[in-house]
Structure 1
Amino acid sequence: MSSVKANIPEIGISELPNQVYKKILTNASEYNEQTLNLMIVGESGLGKTTFINTLFQTTLKPKQGAYEREGVDEFSKKSSNKTTSIEIIRCLLEEKNFTLKLNLIDTPGYGDFINNSKAWLPLCDFVDEQYDHFMRQEQQPFRRAKFDLRVHAVIFFIRPTNGTLKPLDVITMRELSKKSNLIPVIAKSDTLNKEELIQFKAKIRKVIEEQNIQIFTPPIFEEENSFAAGDEDAASNNRAAIQHAKQLVESMPFAIIGSEEQYEINGNKVFGRKYPWGLIEVENETHCDFRKLRSLLLRTNLLDLIHSTNDFHYEVYRKTRLQANNEENNTNTNNNNNKGINILPAPVRKMSHNPRFKEEELALKRYFTEQVKVEEQRFRQWEQNIVNERIRLNNDLEEEQNKVKKLEDQIRVLQMKSK
């Protein structure tokens, strides 16, 4: 029976992987350009700019100048206009004929105020707006060229306090994890020793688990690839990839150090920070987790970040918006004028929580009130002028009437004399 099956020719299903391979080679130009959108969130002074420049080994964002001492009045005037804002840095990176369109989304002003109430809302609104913009582009007749600014990863910087996470950080991480791939990192980890760093990581993991914060973890495929079952080298590479993914998961949150200064060690130049007691190397895994974080973002899991954003987070937002639109259409069943494709209405923008807009709104209200007062004052002055003019005219009229009366009396007297 087995000999009969062996003589049956193949029907061609086994050639499907070769077809996929040829298809990818044909459309290789589409894969030579990828877009990566990274959002950097954290308080000022945690080394976000240094980390960005160190990650890509070039100056993508210049450092700000040193802060100058200011009086209380000057500081209050400047800080009143400051708020959590969004800054986008666009650049093009090339390596081995591969092009990466990088969009760095910085959030200056986050957590820098005494009152940080709802400081996470501008960040969540920005993520939702990008999903909405992309969904609207998909509704257009021509969808081949689309501008994609959906946030693929949120790198959240945690201050190295060796305590616990602040309530603001917990709420921000929880809300952002619902909308994008969250990657928490401990900034300036060289300020903690090894024991303190281990304890701090354990505390952060405990808070993340208790608060149900979903952080991005690289996919781990325990079973070996069936296509590489007969290839020992491919199987070995697969096991190494699994081991590397487990190391990345165990290292979260990543303890990082950033530096743009290079020092020479044994004839090799390395990025690091030099102290009187020694040199800390940025890319030394025994000193920090910078290499692991760079591997997660660029080397091994870049496509996982992009695809998870498109397949999960964006689909969740799209599903929610479509369901809300369907419910709204069901409530308006009496209106039969909607025909054809129903374009989704734009979501209501929540900007009232932004202190800058509140300040502008208050300034406009004050300006409007002042203008109203000026107009009222001018109206009262105009009304008073009218009253004064009426009084003057009445007085003139009375004088003229008195003159007329005197003339009539004179005429009457002359008539009497003439008789």
Structure 2
Amino acid sequence: ESIIRYIEAQFEATLMEESKVRRNPKSPDFQTHACVYMLSPDIIIASNGLSLVDRHVLTSLCSRVNVIPCLAKSDLLTVRQLKSVRSLVANDLVEYKIPVYSFPEDDDDDEPLQADPDAPLPLSTFVPFRLVNSEVTQVDDEAIFTGLVVDNKKILGREYTWGVVEVENTEHCDFIELKNALFGSHLEDLKLSTRESLYEKWRTERLM
């Protein structure tokens, strides 16, 4: 509820600015354009899908912000488990009509082209994004992201007895895809969705 209150407070700030006789042309963008929602694979497996709490929170958040579901600690999942967890999440999002952010594809994707095995996959196929956290070092009760040194190169990742999981390796997790979408390819669409859909819906409810 505190997150919802914060987002609505930002909406309120925008509404107040719009209501001024003389608006500030340099008024800052108050809005929260995306919410990265972390899901626990363990809970999904135990619940055979989204838990009641996750369903409730996701439904509430989706009414006010563009929600992007992600899987935490995905490096602990086997290939089979990852496929199963993603399927369970996707099915529940449809069954319970939870309107998470839908990544629009380029217009060119609608054109009938020959299949290119090297072409990037649509972002919608990554939902929920599998994420991995880098190793941290505790310094005075504070977690510091120190990363690892592999082949004389510092990387963000985690080291196991069987090898290293790299945060920025697209074969290991989807961090790069998510980062590029949030701060590059889909940034403007996220802003547009906030403005034309989420904010306008709240504004209508607020003024009724």
TM-score exceeds 0.5: yes
Which structure 2 residues correspond to residues 41-80 of structure 1 after superposition, within 5 A? Answer: none
With over 3 angstroms needed to count, the CA separation of the structure-2 counterparts of 1:208 and 1:266, relative to structure 1, is: same
Which of 17, 20, 26 is 1:137 aligned to? 17
Q: Distance in 2 between matches of 1:261 and 1:203?
A: 34
**1:364 corresponds to:** none
Q: Distance in 2 between matches of 1:263 and 1:186?
A: 22
Which of 88, 91, 100 is 1:206 aligned to? 91
Q: Is the 8 A contact 1:183 1:216 kept in 2?
A: yes
**1:255 corresponds to:** 130
Residue 123 (structure 1) aligned with residue 3 (structure 2)? yes
Map Cα deviations across residues 174-217 of structure 1 (whole Å, 9 max, x no partner). Answer: 11111110101111111211111110111011111111111112
Secondary structure in structure 2 of the residue aligned to 1:206: helix
**1:196 corresponds to:** 81
Aligned length: 188
Q: Is the 8 A contact 2:37 2:69 kept in 1?
A: yes
Which structure 2 residues correspond to residues 211-250 of structure 1 after superposition, within 5 A? Answer: 211-223=96-108, 244=120, 246-250=121-125
Q: Is the 8 A contact 1:158 1:184 kept in 2?
A: yes
Map Cα deviations across residues 226-245 of structure 1 (whole Å, 9 max, x no partner). Answer: xxxxxxxxxx9xx99xx54x
Q: Distance in 1 between matches of 2:152 and 2:102?
A: 37
Which of 154, 163, 167 is 2:35 aligned to? 154
Which of 166, 175, 182 is 2:51 aligned to? 166
Q: Is the 8 A contact 2:129 2:178 kept in 1?
A: yes
Opposite residue 154 of structure 1, the aligned amino acid is: C
Structure 1 residue 305 displacement after superposition: 1.2
Q: Distance in 1 between matches of 2:67 and 2:81?
A: 24
Map Cα deviations across residues 128-184 of structure 1 (whole Å, 9 max, x no partner). Answer: 221112101111123223243221101111112133222111111011111110101
Q: Is the 8 A contact 2:168 2:175 kept in 1?
A: yes
Structure 1 residue 127 displacement after superposition: 1.6
Q: Is the 8 A contact 1:261 1:273 kept in 2?
A: no
Residue 310 (structure 1) aligned with residue 195 (structure 2)? yes
With over 3 angstroms needed to count, the CA separation of the structure-2 counterparts of 1:134 and 1:282, relative to structure 1, is: same
Residue 301 (structure 1) aligned with residue 186 (structure 2)? yes
Alignment TM-score, normalising by the size of structure 1:
0.42
Map Cα deviations across residues 249-282 of structure 1 (whole Å, 9 max, x no partner). Answer: 1010001002133334445432110111111011
**1:284 corresponds to:** 169
**1:184 corresponds to:** 69
Q: Distance in 2 between matches of 1:266 and 1:287?
A: 18
Secondary structure in structure 1 of the residue aligned to 2:156: strand
Q: Which runs of 5+ in 2 are unaligned?
A: 135-144
Q: Distance in 1 between matches of 2:52 and 2:4?
A: 17
Which structure 2 residues correspond to residues 21-36 of structure 1 after superposition, within 5 A? Answer: none
With over 3 angstroms needed to count, the CA separation of the structure-2 counterparts of 1:285 and 1:223, relative to structure 1, is: closer
> As a proportion of its length, which structure holds more helix?
1
Opposite residue 211 of structure 1, the aligned amino acid is: Y
Q: Distance in 1 between matches of 2:106 and 2:162?
A: 43
Map Cα deviations across residues 381-408 of structure 1 (whole Å, 9 max, x no partner). Answer: xxxxxxxxxxxxxxxxxxxxxxxxxxxx
Q: Distance in 2 between matches of 1:282 and 1:299?
A: 18
Structure 1 residue 299 displacement after superposition: 2.4
Alignment TM-score, normalising by the size of structure 2:
0.81
Q: Which runs of 5+ in 1 are unaligned?
A: 1-120, 225-235, 325-419
Q: Is the 8 A contact 1:154 1:180 kept in 2?
A: yes
Opposite residue 253 of structure 1, the aligned amino acid is: P
